[in-house]
Amino acid sequence: MLCMAGALAAGAALAAAPEPPDPWPDLVRDVFDGRPLAEGTGVIAIDMPARAEDAAIVPVTLRLNLAPGDPRSVKAVTLVIDRNPAPVAATFALGPDAGVTAIETRVRVDSYTDVHAVAELDDGTLHMTKIYVKASGGCSAPAAKIADEAKKNLGQMKLRQFAGPDGASREAQLMIRHPNNSGLQMDQLTRLYTPAFFVRDVNIWQGEKLLVKMDAGISLSEDPNIRFTYRPTGAATLRAEAVDTDQNVFRGEWPVGLGE
């Protein structure tokens, strides 16, 4: 009980203090080695509601917009929720020729915060955009809705497939049952803090070619979810492998095709 009281008092003191300084400059240094970030190049866009209606499940879509004929390609995209306890929500490394132009996932938003997305091109340049998002009020919280459910079906995967936005592309959505527990919450029965327990690495291949590799953190919602467009190669299967912080490995393989 002492621990809990201490933690709550600390939280209250923090909240009463004036708005803490903008964390972004430090994040640029720590996450991007202080490299220059080009803004306003239109290479990347964030589509996200300005108000996080449900703090636990905030949809976010990252759109990659290299002009037709631009010889460069996007190597990786990093999504940063500046004021979350673990700001780097995910980094998506894209396979060469994967043809990914949009990535949708769902995140937790703990506060009123800037959300940054940074695309790294194969010429080494970094391109940044940002959006301001307000955490929801009311009873929503960035916590699991049904804590037992995600544990019970741990690692269950589902792949959904869709026609892409144009005839040449397709879209896939990988869903993984996992509590993606952020840790630090005290179990009031055992008086122990819950250790963080989350999916940290997801790889998705088309045949033998990598489409997306996601390095993820606790800012992703429970049941981590990634939906993305890609350019089909004619390979017969899509395959996924996910690893969580307990080194559990989850695998799935599905025939390429529309319908579920």
In the bound state with another protein, the residue whose beta carbon lies nearer, of 120 and 223, is 223
The answer to whether the CB of 134 falls within 8 A of the CB of 111 is: no
Which among 219, 178, 36 has a CA at the least distance from the CA of 120?
36
In the bound state with another protein, the residue whose beta carbon lies nearer, of 19 and 208, is 19
- Cα separation, 260 vs 254, whole angstroms: 10
Query: Which structure tokens are listed for 168?
Result: 């040449």
Minimum separation from the CB atom of position 183 to another protein (A): 11
In the bound state with another protein, the residue whose beta carbon lies nearer, of 155 and 207, is 155
Which among 74, 71, 164 has a CA at the least distance from the CA of 125?
74
Residues that bind another protein (CB under 8 A): 4, 7-8, 11-12, 14-16, 47, 49, 53-57, 59, 61, 104, 106, 110-112, 135-149, 158, 160, 162-163, 171, 175, 177, 185-189, 221, 223, 225, 227
Minimum separation from the CB atom of position 141 to another protein (A): 4
In the bound state with another protein, the residue whose beta carbon lies nearer, of 143 and 210, is 143
Minimum separation from the CB atom of position 72 to another protein (A): 27
Q: For residue 164, give the 3-state DSSP assignment.
A: coil
In the bound state with another protein, the residue whose beta carbon lies nearer, of 111 and 206, is 111
The answer to whether the CB of 44 falls within 8 A of the CB of 77 is: yes
Distance of CA 90 to the CA centre of its chain: 4
Output the DSSP codes for 72-99.
--EEEEEEEETTSSS-EEEEEEE-TT--
In the bound state with another protein, the residue whose beta carbon lies nearer, of 59 and 155, is 59
Placement of tokens 């998002």 in the chain? 133
Minimum separation from the CB atom of position 84 to another protein (A): 11
Minimum separation from the CB atom of position 33 to another protein (A): 31
Which among 218, 217, 215, 214 has a CA at the least distance from the CA of 228?
214
Minimum separation from the CB atom of position 177 to another protein (A): 8
